[in-house]
């Protein structure tokens, strides 16, 4: 409870760390799916199977294009290989590269464990029209997961607004949730008169469901009202989570920015319980006041 309280219930002064051995083998493979729907179905099937990969992630078409567009400079050999791969995908596999979705699936453990896990996942991927793209994209994943969080600051320095919103829901709800949020974001961009960009990936899979992580960006039509325009887009996405059966947040927590939707997410009674707990532990509101409720 203290760990999830954003500092409202106290300060952690000591911790005991549980240490695990470094896995004998760790490999992140890239997979490509013809479209988001089949990528999502494959992730669902993996969660339902006996496979237990350490990473299961799939990006929608917008984020896939973003990944490939922001690759570091390649030499002639790498460019030639990319051209051959694109030809194969378009003319042999009949992929529409504008709808194609990139997935990262990782395996950790002994040689035997990794081999068995990958065999199970490869079969599921094939059943859903996907193909394995090797470990090259996996190296991209390890690099991008540290690079991407800094893009917001890069864009802000150039007059663009960018942020993330994440949610989670049951597997059966994820497709409708994704479709609805993308539609609402598009409507919000139109309302404020900007050409925005929104992309999404699925991450943090569980047996019951998964997390959807949306990233959006736009250049404000008027710098004097950029915060208002941001609120319109952010609000449309967050309200979409609530209306379409998702959670208010997943791992970024509630904080100050999402507190307005907490009552809709956990009910007014739930908010009362949390407020009573916080008031009981910290009646003077000295610990990170204002967060959550």
Q: Is the pLDDT higher at 65 or at 74?
A: 65
Residue 76: predicted pLDDT: 67
**Is 31 annotated in the active site?**
no
Multiple choice CATH, 25-149, 1.20.1250.20, 3.10.129.10, 3.40.50.150, 3.30.70.3450: 3.30.70.3450
Which of 31, 197, 213, 230 is catalytic? The answer is 213
Q: 186: pLDDT confidence band, cut at 50, 70 and 90? A: very high
CATH topology of domain 159-252: GMP Synthetase; Chain A, domain 3 (3.30.300)
Q: Is the pLDDT of residue 92 over 90?
A: no
The mean pLDDT value for 196-216 works out to 96
Q: Is the pLDDT of residue 202 over 70?
A: yes
Q: Is the pLDDT of residue 80 over 70?
A: no
**What are the sequence ranges of the domains in the chain?**
25-149, 159-252
Residue 67: predicted pLDDT: 86
The mean pLDDT value of the chain amounts to 91
Q: Is the pLDDT of residue 149 over 80?
A: no
The mean pLDDT value for 80-89 works out to 73
Helix H, strand E, coil C: the string for the chain is: CCCCCCCCCCCCCCCCCCCCCCCCEEEEEEEEECCHHHHHHHHHHHHHCCCCCCEEEEECHHHHHHHHHCCCCCCHHHHHHHHHHHHHHHHHCCCCCCCCEEEEEEEEECHHHHHHHHHHHHHHHHHCCCEEEECHHHHHHHHHHHHHHHHHHHHHCCCCEEEEEEEEEEHHHHHHHHHHHHHHHHHHHHHHCCCCEEEEEEECCCCCEEEEEEEEEECCCCHHHHHHHHHHHHHHHHHHHHHCCCCCCCCCCCCCCCHHHHHHHHHHHHHHHHHHHHHHHCCCCCCCCCCCC
The mean pLDDT value for 178-195 works out to 97
Residue 73: predicted pLDDT: 66
Residue 89: predicted pLDDT: 81
Residue 137: predicted pLDDT: 79
């Amino acid at each position: 409870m203290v760990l999830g309280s954003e500092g409202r219930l106290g300060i952690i002064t000591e911790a005991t760390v549980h240490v695990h051995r470094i896995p004998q083998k760790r490999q992140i493979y890239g997979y490509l799916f013809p479209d988001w729907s089949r990528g999502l179905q494959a992730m669902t099937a993996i969660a339902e199977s006996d496979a237990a990969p350490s990473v299961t992630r799939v990006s929608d078409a917008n984020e896939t294009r973003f990944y490939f567009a922001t690759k570091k400079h390649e030499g002639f050999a790498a460019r030639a290989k990319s051209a051959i791969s694109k030809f194969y995908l378009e003319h042999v596999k009949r992929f529409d590269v504008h709808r194609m979705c990139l997935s990262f699936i990782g395996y950790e453990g002994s040689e035997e464990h990794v081999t068995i896990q990958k065999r199970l996942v490869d079969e599921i991927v094939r059943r859903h029209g996907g193909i394995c793209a090797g470990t090259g994209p996996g190296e991209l994943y390890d690099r991008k997961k540290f690079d991407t969080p800094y893009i917001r600051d890069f864009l802000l320095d150039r007059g663009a607004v960018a942020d993330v919103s994440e949610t989670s829901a049951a597997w059966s709800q994820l497709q409708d949730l994704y479709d609805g949020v993308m539609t609402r974001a598009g409507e919000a961009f139109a309302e404020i008169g900007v050409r925005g960009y929104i992309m999404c990936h699925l991450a943090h899979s569980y047996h019951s469901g998964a997390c959807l992580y949306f990233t959006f960006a736009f250049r404000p039509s008027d710098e004097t009202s950029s915060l208002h325009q941001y609120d319109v887009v952010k609000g449309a996405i967050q309200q979409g989570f609530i209306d379409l059966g998702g959670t208010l947040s997943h791992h970024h927590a509630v904080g100050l920015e999402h507190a307005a939707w907490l009552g809709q997410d956990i009910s007014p009674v739930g908010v009362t319980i949390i407020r009573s707990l916080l008031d009981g532990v910290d009646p003077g509101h000295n610990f990170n006041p204002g967060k959550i409720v």
